[in-house]
């Protein structure tokens, strides 16, 4: 932290007093676009790191504002993170609109765990549950709205602040003035968890509405405005957990763990998935273009941190594998024997020209040089959760074949047969062998993979 110890102590005291409440997730994450481990890690900062740093109780309410929807797996993550409450403040259109008038509801996890359920509430991001005028008419309007809803609790959640606004003491002062004049209703300047605590204490839990509905986010296309970046982000979502697994293995075998690299990789990719990536707001294009540039940097840094952690750990693991000469190690993290194409980067090549041999069979392996400069070969029978080693032998002549364009127009497996039209540079046909149908309509004016003007 960059604050003075006195400021840190003051924050800790105000949290302990219930005057300030931390949300249970890192940021307003675009949850449908994030990977499984990234979603889990979004709970770590407030409920692990900060809890340990400040010696405070874990946060009770996960809050996601503004986004129109949330991944269906979200209630699984909240309950597994032991978060008792979830608040969704949706912009329009609200995917949970049919539940907005429910005081609270249970969103059942996909694993159908009926014992451990998160108590949820959803409302509009620009909710009518906000007192705009602190007079009898303004407060009565809020109360009448809930009377019309047959509100069954003695507490109402009224919201402060709105989009791009800065919290002030105005409402706290208005509340103090109101309470000094009127005995009813008693208004508290409080935290969201206090509302859930009140409802949870009063509720007949057997009568709380339950839902298993999906809640897709209509704004997921924001990330796709930079499709290449989104692809890199989705890829690194799964690369970081892989780097983490290898780091754990390396730590067990040789000691040391790249904790900061793993932390920073997760931190960057969580921040990339913050929901406003790629959005545009009126004439304020410069703001969002700046944000998009920041998101590109976040993904690049996540990739770099992940690669450094993986490289460090693989180096430790490989150093413990004893061979008679320098070797290439191919590891299989799956629980079954695997055949796979392996790519050798330029930096991994011992020389410009070399042969490659399987150390187990002593057979020479066929190599192919790709147009991007990498060398590819087909690794066979890599044991489950194990590895094979290959040795290099430098040679004066290239031992690999150059990549040449194929003249074949079809590629197929037991499921599909795909036909390519090289003249038009498009996918001309996809045939489903199991259904015995052609998926693409040859008469349709727009081809798959073609470029069209609108």
pLDDT exceeds 80 at position 449: no
Would you say residue 126 lies in a domain?
yes
Residue 136 DSSP SS3: helix
Average pLDDT over residues 127-135: 87
The CATH number of whichever domain residue 259 belongs to comes to 1.20.1270
pLDDT in tens, 175-208: 999 999 999 999 998 899 999 999 999 999 999 9
Would you say residue 1 lies in a domain?
no
Q: Are residues 269 and 342 in the same domain?
A: no
pLDDT exceeds 70 at position 81: yes
pTM exceeding the 0.75 threshold for the entire prediction: yes
* Per-chain mean pLDDT for the chain: 89
DSSP string, 256-318: ---HHHHHHHHHHHHHHTBTTTT---TT-HHHHHHHHHHHHHHHHHHHHHHHHHHHHHHHHHH
Q: Are residues 331 and 315 in the same domain?
A: no
Would you say residue 305 lies in a domain?
yes
Would you say residue 138 lies in a domain?
yes
Q: Are residues 280 and 393 in the same domain?
A: no
Q: Are residues 365 and 376 in the same domain?
A: yes
Q: Are residues 298 and 357 in the same domain?
A: no
Average pLDDT over residues 229-234: 93
Give how many domains the chain has, as a whole number: 4
C-alpha 209: how far from chain center: 28
Would you say residue 376 lies in a domain?
yes
Q: Are residues 129 and 238 in the same domain?
A: no
Closest of 49, 62, 63 to residue 1, by C-alpha: 49
pLDDT exceeds 80 at position 406: no
pLDDT in tens, 312-361: 998 898 888 888 777 888 988 788 999 999 999 887 888 888 899 999 99
Q: Are residues 249 and 363 in the same domain?
A: no
Give the pLDDT score at 285: 55
Q: Which of 268, 301, 319 marks a domain boundary?
A: 319
User: Measured between alpha carbons, how far is residue 426 from residues 371, 436, 438, 451 in Å?
Assistant: 21, 22, 16, 9
Q: Which domain holds residue 350?
A: 327-402
- Alpha helices, H only, 149-191: 170-181
Would you say residue 21 lies in a domain?
no
Q: Are residues 148 and 193 in the same domain?
A: yes
% residues pLDDT > 70 (the chain): 95
pLDDT in tens, 240-285: 999 999 999 999 989 999 999 999 999 999 999 988 765 555 555 5
Q: Are residues 69 and 132 in the same domain?
A: yes
Would you say residue 85 lies in a domain?
yes
Would you say residue 26 lies in a domain?
no
Q: Which residues pair with 428 in a beta bridge?
A: none
H/E element, 77: helix 74-80
Q: Which of 186, 211, 236 marks a domain boundary?
A: 211
Q: Are residues 151 and 174 in the same domain?
A: yes
pLDDT in tens, 36-55: 999 999 999 999 999 999 99
pLDDT exceeds 80 at position 450: no
pLDDT exceeds 70 at position 453: no
Output phi, psi for 56, to 5 deg: -120, 170
pLDDT in tens, 414-447: 999 999 888 888 888 899 999 999 888 877 777 6
Q: Which of 173, 188, 211 marks a domain boundary?
A: 211
Average pLDDT over residues 352-381: 91
Give the pLDDT score at 454: 41
pLDDT exceeds 80 at position 405: no
| Whether 142 contacts 129, CB under 8 Å | yes
User: Measured between alpha carbons, how far is residue 185 from residues 154, 160, 308, 422 in Å?
Assistant: 10, 17, 58, 74
Q: Are residues 349 and 228 in the same domain?
A: no
Q: Are residues 253 and 301 in the same domain?
A: yes
């Amino acid at each position: 932290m960059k604050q003075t110890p006195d400021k840190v102590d003051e924050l800790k005291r105000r949290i302990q007093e219930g005057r300030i409440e931390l949300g249970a997730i890192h940021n307003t994450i675009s949850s449908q676009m994030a990977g499984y481990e990234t979603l889990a890690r979004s709970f770590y900062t407030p409920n692990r790191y900060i809890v340990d740093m400040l010696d405070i109780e874990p946060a009770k309410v996960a809050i996601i504002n503004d986004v129109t929807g949330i991944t269906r797996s979200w209630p699984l993550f909240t309950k597994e993170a032991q978060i008792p409450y979830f608040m969704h403040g949706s912009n329009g259109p609200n995917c949970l609109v049919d539940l907005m008038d429910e005081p609270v509801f249970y969103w059942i996890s996909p694993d159908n765990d009926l014992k451990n359920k998160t108590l949820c509430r959803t409302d509009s991001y620009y909710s009518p549950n906000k007192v705009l005028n602190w007079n009898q008419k303004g407060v009565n309007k809020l109360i009448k709205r809930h009377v019309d809803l047959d509100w069954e609790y003695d507490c109402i959640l009224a919201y402060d602040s709105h989009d791009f606004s800065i919290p002030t003491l105005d409402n706290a002062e208005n509340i103090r003035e109101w309470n000094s004049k009127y005995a009813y209703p008693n208004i508290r300047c409080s935290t969201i968890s206090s509302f859930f605590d009140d409802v949870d204490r009063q509720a007949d839990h057997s009568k709380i509405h339950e839902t298993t509905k999906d809640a897709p986010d209509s704004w997921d296309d924001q990330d796709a405005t930079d499709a290449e970046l989104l692809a890199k982000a989705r890829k690194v979502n799964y690369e970081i957990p892989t780097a983490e697994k290898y780091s754990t293995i390396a730590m067990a075998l040789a000691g040391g763990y790249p904790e900061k690299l793993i932390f920073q990789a997760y931190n960057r990719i969580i921040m990339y998935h913050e929901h406003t990536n790629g959005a545009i707001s009126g004439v304020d294009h410069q703001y969002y273009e700046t944000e998009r540039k920041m998101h590109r940097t976040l993904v690049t840094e996540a990739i770099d941190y992940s690669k450094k952690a993986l490289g460090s750990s693989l180096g430790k693991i490989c150093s413990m594998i004893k061979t008679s000469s320098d070797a290439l190690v191919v590891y299989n993290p799956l629980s079954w024997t695997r055949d796979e194409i392996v790519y050798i980067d330029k930096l991994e090549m011992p020389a410009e020209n070399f042969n490659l041999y399987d150390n187990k069979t002593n057979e020479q392996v066929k190599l192919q040089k790709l147009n991007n400069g990498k060398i590819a070969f087909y690794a066979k029978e890599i044991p489950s959760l194990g590895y094979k080693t290959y040795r290099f032998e430098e040679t004066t002549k290239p031992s690999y074949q150059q990549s040449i364009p194929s003249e074949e127009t079809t590629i197929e497996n037991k499921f599909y047969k795909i036909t390519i039209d090289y003249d038009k540079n498009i996918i001309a046909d996809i045939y489903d062998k199991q259904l015995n149908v052609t998926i693409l309509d040859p008469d349709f004016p727009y081809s798959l993979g073609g470029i069209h003007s609108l």
